[in-house]
A and B are shown apart, each in its own frame.
Chain A
Amino acid sequence: MENLGSHTQEPIVSPKTFILVWVLLMILTGFEIFAAYKGIPWKNELILALMLAQAYLVSFYFMHLRFEKFPLILSVVLGVLLTVGLLCALIIWDGIHIIQLSR
């Protein structure tokens, strides 16, 4: 059966890929910290974007999410991002109201 053998079919990742991912991560981290330290324009948006890029690299390459089947990828990514995103967005919406009242 197709799904049974898939464990062995999992492609072998060469160390080169990992080194590439590592270099990318280092560049992203460096840029992120630099941006935050220097306070460049659009810094917050940039940091969030870099954060997501890093998270993508770590989860998809190091945690092998890339080699999982699509429904699992979808459940993991949506399950986490959507739930946390909703919680964040809605309580921060309320937080803005609280700070407006206290001003």
Chain B
Amino acid sequence: MEEIRRMEPIEGIHGLPEQVSAEQFAPSAFSRNRKKLMMWIFIISDALLFGSFLAVYTFERFISPSWPDRWKIFEPGYLAVMTVVLLSSSTFMAVAVEGLKQGKNRRFGFFYAVTILCGIVFLAMQAHEWAHFIGLGARLNTNPWGVPLFSGLFFMITGFHGFHVLTGVLILSFIGVLKLMGKVSDETIELAGMYWSFVDLVWVFILAVIYLL
């Protein structure tokens, strides 16, 4: 079983015979699962994109004579709820993947659905926050606090993050449907889980750098 799963990428592509044996793979810390490895590298690359954005944010903040007080714009309670929703959804996803590994399908199904639900709730909350922010008079190129860079960066960075959440929700839903049809491997779900946790990870940094600092 394990052998077959390990060989899957080759088989799918070339239809190679089973003679590909274990020794063919050099012993390396990286060689255990190439899809997961690629996911990690993708995550590094995507993390660096957000890292660049946050570096830009910090830079622009340093060169601005003043920076708006975030607590006059955002509610700490609302922010806390958003964070809790996203962090919880990541926890649920981890529990779901763990359930899947142990073959507990009911547990998996329940927590997987809750994960997607949390993602949708987060998106709705973010949309509401944007609406609130726009209602205060913030636009990409101007805002009432006299630091147009702030609103521009805010929309760009949270927008990018929101886009990642949205893709995450879509991917999870799509994979969920495939799972119901029995057409998706456990590994794919695990990878989707990694992506979902990554979205959460980015939020941790955005929360601290944009809202709190």
Contact = CB atoms under 8 A, between A and B. Distances in A.
B60, B87, B197 interface centre (most CB from chain A within 10 Å): B87
Interface stretch (B122-130, B158-166, B199-207): B199-207
Interface string A5-22: 111101011010011011
B30 A71 contact: yes
B112 to A, nearest CB: 14
Interface stretch (B94-102, B145-153, B171-179): B94-102
B51 A87 contact: yes
B58 interface: yes
Main secondary structure of the interface of A (DSSP, over half): helix
Contacts of B194: 63-64
Contacts of B95: 15, 18
Contacts of A41: none
A4 B3 CA distance: 8
Contact of A3 (B25, B200, B208): B25
B28 A3 contact: yes
B102 A36 contact: no
Chain A interface size, under 10 / 10 to 19 / 20 to 34 / 35 or more: 35 or more
B211 interface: yes
A32 B210 CA distance: 13
B99 to A, nearest CB: 8
B51 A1 contact: no
A1 to B, nearest CB: 5
Contact of B205 (A3, A51, A62): A51
Contact of B65 (A19, A59, A102): A102
Given A37-B76, A72-B40, A87-B52, A48 B87 contact: no
Contacts of B209: 51
B212 A36 contact: yes
A54 B29 contact: no
Top-10 shortest CB links A-B: A84-B51, A95-B62, A36-B212, A51-B208, A69-B29, A62-B197, A71-B29, A88-B55, A22-B91, A62-B94
18 contacts: A7-B32, A10-B101, A13-B98, A22-B91, A25-B87, A47-B208, A58-B200, A58-B204, A59-B197, A61-B94, A62-B93, A62-B200, A69-B32, A70-B29, A80-B44, A80-B47, A83-B48, A84-B52
